[in-house]
Amino acid sequence: MSDVRINPSILSADFVNMERDLQRIGNADFVHVDIMDNNFVPNLTFGPQMTQRVQETSPVPLDVHLMINDCDTWAPKYAELGVASVTFHVEATSDPVATARRVRDIGARAGVALRPGTDAEFLYDILDEFDQILVMTVEPGFGGQSFRPDTMPKLSALAAHARSVGSDVWLQVDGGINIDTIAIAAEHGADTFVAGSAVFGAADPDEAIVTLRGLGAAAYHRHSHD
Ligand code: DX5
Ligand code: ZN
Active site residue 34: yes
Percent of the chain residues past pLDDT 90, beyond the cut: 97
CA of 26 to the centre of ligand 2 (A): 19
**pLDDT tens-digit profile of 172-184?**
999 999 999 999 9
Concatenate the DSSP letters of all residues of 41-96 into one string.
SS-B---HHHHHHHHHH-SS-EEEEEESS-HHHHHHHHHTTT-SEEEEEGGG-S-H
Mean pLDDT of the region 23-49:
98
- Average pLDDT over the chain, rounded to whole? 97
* Ligand 1 mean position, distance from CA 2 (Å): 24
Q: Which atom of ligand 1 is nearest to the CA of 139?
A: 6
Total structural domains within the chain: 1
Q: What is the pLDDT at residue 1?
A: 43
User: Hey, which of 5, 34, 139, 173 would you mutate to test ligand 1's pocket, going by the most ligand atoms within 8 Å of its Cβ?
Assistant: 34
Q: Give 188-197 pLDDT, tens digit per residue.
A: 999 999 999 9
Range of the domain at 40: 5-224
Asked about 150 being catalytic, the answer comes back as no
Q: What is the pTM of this model?
A: 0.98
Do residues 177 and 147 touch, judged by C-beta distance below 8 A? yes
CATH number of the domain enclosing 118:
3.20.20.70
* Phi/psi-derived region of residue 64, left when phi > 0, alpha when psi is between -120 and 50, beta in every other case: beta
